[in-house]
A and B are shown apart, each in its own frame.
Chain A
Amino acid sequence: MSRKELFEKIQEIFRDIFDDEELKIEEFTNSSNIDDWDSINHINLVVAIEGELNIKFNLDELSTLKDVGAMIDLILIKMN
């Protein structure tokens, strides 16, 4: 999967979790850019990404997912 395809998948997940069809994420989007991105929804995001892409994050990795770019970097490593 290319970075672009993955980005779109991740965007879909963000739209579902934050219930906003129009939501546009960027590489640098982080929890301060999205109002509802709190610790609870962070877990929901992680669980949804794990389910969609069939990957698992490790304990110490969860706290490093500070923005969308970091998420995608990590996911790409996991998927290869």
Chain B
Amino acid sequence: MVELLNYPFNSSMIHRKCNRIRNELLKGVFSDEIKIAVLGGSTTNQLIKIIELFLLKEGFKTSFYESDYNKYYEDAVFYNKTLLDFNPDFIYIHTTHHNITEYPSFSSSEKEIEIIFENQKTKFNNIWESLQKYNCPIIQNNFDLPLYRCLGNLDSYHPSGQTYFLNKLNHFFAKEAQKNKSLYINDINYLSSLFGLNNWHNKNIWFTAKYAISYEAIPTLANNIVGIINSVLGRSKKCLVLDLDNTCWGGVIGDDGLNGIKLGNESAQGEAYLKFQAYIKKLKERGIILAVCSKNNHKIAKEGFSHSDSTLKFEDFTSFKANWDPKYLNIENIAKEINIGLDSIVFIDDNAVERNIVQSQLPSVSVPEIGDDILNFIDYIERNNYFEIVNLSNDDLNRNKFYKENITRKKQKAAFENYDEFLQSLKMKAEIKPFSNVYLDRITQLINKTNQFNLTTKRYKLIEVEKISKNENFITLYGKLSDKFGDNGLISVMFGEITNKTCNIETWLMSCRVLKRDMEFAMFNKFVEQCLSKSLNKIVGTYKRTDKNNMVSNLFSDLGFEYVEKKSDGSIIWELNIENYNSTVSKIKIN
């Protein structure tokens, strides 16, 4: 029943079986809870039910605040005790073109049109501004187009046209979201055109029940919203693992040979594979890690990417497994090699049997049922929102470079007899400093997606990180590390709150990209230095065990901390007197 929530959505079944799907999902175990406030400009009952299904599927136990019918503005702008008490993690504003209260009339002057436009802008600006007090991300619909356009084609370019007016507002929303870090646009303008306005709107259900969008479109909309939530929380997938034959090119390279595979502009099929490769290449450029898992001879498989028309090159893949082992074993190895969880992997294979084996052996890997028609592969990757992204940081753009450099480092490591010598040879340089504004996005991203080297796995929203960075009572540090092979970017975050001469480490984490480089010691030395400069004498550390952070279970004891107690929630408290602290030696030069 739960598989109904995978693309392509069978809307009528999802609605009909909604309660059953929910009951089935509720049997699962939930590690995360989430509170969503839905402020609607139209009826939202069924939308909320379906949003809940998608969130449950992602492992969130969900509770909702739902505004009264069309009371989104009042709920946002006026004092609202219920909403304050609810303390939402996300606020979703479900407005559509039905909520535009005034359009220009055909006789409006330029000046009058401007005023009408300003009024709509002000209304939404007021909403976003007053919602800031809730300290949480706001997900805001932009506008879908109405079914009818009184001015025909002219509607799209006449200053009084509704289409023109709505497009202008959408542009304004986009500009605002570029400036406002906690505002995320739910692009229903795109969704509705993807769906077709005739299917997106349903006049019957609008006039009888005031649903602004059709039942048919609700699962697509809900899935899109949950995609944004997932991405804000850093839970999007990281790595795309591809099969080769009939996935990256048409035909079987082992049988057909390099010149026999279908790839390139000579045939319709070859062109479709080319288009697919170009899409994958774009994913790579925005930070998705690529890997190959194919039943093939390594040499022959590699040769495929030397095809003159191949957009993807062998070097584009961080991990390349072409052999005859079962695919699930190879995928496990890929995860280990790249150092990511299996739940960060999406596997694309045209062969239903292979998909089935991988899915049953590795249930946390995402294995969409893509069929075997190359024309549909991208749809499955994109419409399942695996790689939804809410901002594009430099670290995203450089991620593949980081992993590539890591492989060079690994090779280099083998050439040294002892590890210290290897570290020395890397000529590492670090920048370790208190949080500064330019890095807050990246810091938040790291806080929300780091699982392994993470002492407390506490998640923070951007607004909270911003507050902490301004709070005098916090000691904050970020760490950037570079070496002779390249720049790793910002890879470590640490902060703690000061009370009575003691600093309590709330968060300490590091990207797995830079494990075993002594970066944690460099971070800690600097942290102690900061504590001493504020005349503190003690640091308290907390280790909270999760399924993924075993690697740091001994970190505090390794640094000389004393065990204090184990709390009822399972977290272990450590403390260190720093008055006579001897800094740990590290091979990193700090600047």
The residues of A with any CB-CB pair to B shorter than 8 Å are 13, 16-19, 39-40, 43-44, 47-48, 51-52, 56-57, 59, 62
Q: What number of A-B contacts does a CB cutoff of 8 Å give?
A: 42
Residue of B nearest to A48 (CB): B16
- A43, B12: Cβ atoms under 8 Å? no
**Contacts A44-B15, A47-B15, A48-B12; A16 near B20 (Cβ below 8 A):** yes
Q: B207 in the interface, Cβ–Cβ < 8 Å?
A: yes
**Contacts A43-B46, A47-B215; A17 near B19 (Cβ below 8 A):** yes
Instruction: Say whether chain B's binding surface is mostly helix, strand, loop, or mixed.
Output: helix
Other than the given A18-B19, A19-B23, A43-B205, 11 more pairs (CB < 8 A) read A16-B17, A43-B46, A43-B209, A44-B18, A44-B46, A47-B215, A48-B15, A52-B16, A56-B204, A59-B204, A59-B208
Which residues of A have CB within 8 Å of B205?
43, 47
- The residue that B12 contacts in the complex, of A19, A39, A51, A62, with Cβ under 8 A, is A51
A19 to B23: give the CA distance in the assembly, Å.
Answer: 9
A19 to B211: give the CA distance in the assembly, Å.
Answer: 23
Distance (whole angstroms) from the CB of B308 to the closest CB of chain A: 50
Residue-wise, chain B 178-221 has the 8 Å CB interface mask toward A (1 for contact) of 00000000000000000000000000110111010001000000
- Identify 19 residue pairs between A and B in the complex whose beta-carbon atoms are under 8 Å apart, listed by A's number: A13-B16, A16-B17, A16-B20, A39-B209, A40-B45, A40-B46, A43-B208, A43-B209, A43-B211, A44-B16, A47-B12, A47-B205, A47-B215, A48-B16, A51-B16, A57-B204, A59-B204, A59-B207, A62-B204
Residue of A nearest to B19 (CB): A19
A43 to B211: give the CA distance in the assembly, Å.
Answer: 10
Distance (whole angstroms) from the CB of B287 to the closest CB of chain A: 40
Which residues of A have CB within 8 Å of B208?
43, 59, 62
Count of chain B residues with a beta carbon within 8 Å of a chain A beta carbon: 17
Which residues of B have CB within 8 Å of A56?
204
Which residues of B have CB within 8 Å of A47?
12, 15, 205, 215
Which 7 residue pairs spanning A and B have beta carbons closest together? Answer: A19-B19, A51-B12, A48-B16, A16-B16, A40-B45, A47-B215, A43-B209
A57 to B202: give the CA distance in the assembly, Å.
Answer: 12
Which residues of B have CB within 8 Å of A40?
45-46
Residue of A nearest to B22 (CB): A19
A62 to B20: give the CA distance in the assembly, Å.
Answer: 26
Which residues of B have CB within 8 Å of A57?
204
A56 to B207: give the CA distance in the assembly, Å.
Answer: 14
Distance (whole angstroms) from the CB of B205 to the closest CB of chain A: 7
Which residues of A have CB within 8 Å of B215?
47
A57 to B207: give the CA distance in the assembly, Å.
Answer: 13
- B16, A17: Cβ atoms under 8 Å? yes
Distance (whole angstroms) from the CB of B50 to the closest CB of chain A: 11
Which residues of A have CB within 8 Å of B15?
44, 47-48, 51
Distance (whole angstroms) from the CB of A53 to the closest CB of chain B: 11
Which residues of B have CB within 8 Å of A13?
16
- B12, A52: Cβ atoms under 8 Å? yes
Which residues of A have CB within 8 Å of B204?
56-57, 59, 62
A51 to B211: give the CA distance in the assembly, Å.
Answer: 17
Which residues of A have CB within 8 Å of B209?
39, 43
Name the residue among A17, A39, A44, A47 with the largest chain B CB count within 10 angstroms.
A47
Residue of B nearest to A62 (CB): B208
Distance (whole angstroms) from the CB of A21 to the closest CB of chain B: 9
Residue-wise, chain B 7-21 has the 8 Å CB interface mask toward A (1 for contact) of 000001001111110
Residue of B nearest to A57 (CB): B204
Distance (whole angstroms) from the CB of B188 to the closest CB of chain A: 20
Distance (whole angstroms) from the CB of A74 to the closest CB of chain B: 15
Which residues of A have CB within 8 Å of B211?
43
Residue of B nearest to A16 (CB): B16
Name the residue among A39, A51, A57 with the largest chain B CB count within 10 angstroms.
A51
Name the residue among A17, A43, A52 with the largest chain B CB count within 10 angstroms.
A43
Name the residue among B19, B46, B211 with the largest chain A CB count within 10 angstroms.
B19
Which residues of A have CB within 8 Å of B46?
40, 43-44
Which residues of A have CB within 8 Å of B17?
16
A13 to B19: give the CA distance in the assembly, Å.
Answer: 12
Which residues of B have CB within 8 Å of A17?
16, 19
Residue of A nearest to B209 (CB): A43
Distance (whole angstroms) from the CB of A47 to the closest CB of chain B: 5
A39 to B210: give the CA distance in the assembly, Å.
Answer: 12
Distance (whole angstroms) from the CB of B67 to the closest CB of chain A: 15
Which residues of A have CB within 8 Å of B207?
59
Distance (whole angstroms) from the CB of A10 to the closest CB of chain B: 12
Name the residue among B20, B204, B211 with the largest chain A CB count within 10 angstroms.
B204
A80 to B15: give the CA distance in the assembly, Å.
Answer: 27
Name the residue among B16, B18, B23, B205 with the largest chain A CB count within 10 angstroms.
B16
Which residues, 1 to 51 on B, are CB-close (under 8 Å) to A? Answer: 12, 15-20, 23, 45-46
Distance (whole angstroms) from the CB of A55 to the closest CB of chain B: 12
Which residues of B have CB within 8 Å of A51?
12, 15-16
Which residues, 235 to 266 on B, are CB-close (under 8 Å) to A? Answer: none
A2 to B196: give the CA distance in the assembly, Å.
Answer: 36
Name the residue among A18, A48, A56, A59 with the largest chain B CB count within 10 angstroms.
A48
Which residues of A have CB within 8 Å of B19?
16-19
Distance (whole angstroms) from the CB of B266 to the closest CB of chain A: 44
Distance (whole angstroms) from the CB of B43 to the closest CB of chain A: 8
Distance (whole angstroms) from the CB of B44 to the closest CB of chain A: 10
A18 to B16: give the CA distance in the assembly, Å.
Answer: 9
Which residues of B have CB within 8 Å of A18?
19
Residue of B nearest to A12 (CB): B16
Which residues of B have CB within 8 Å of A59?
204, 207-208
- B20, A19: Cβ atoms under 8 Å? yes
A56 to B208: give the CA distance in the assembly, Å.
Answer: 13
Which residues of B have CB within 8 Å of A19?
19-20, 23
A67 to B367: give the CA distance in the assembly, Å.
Answer: 45
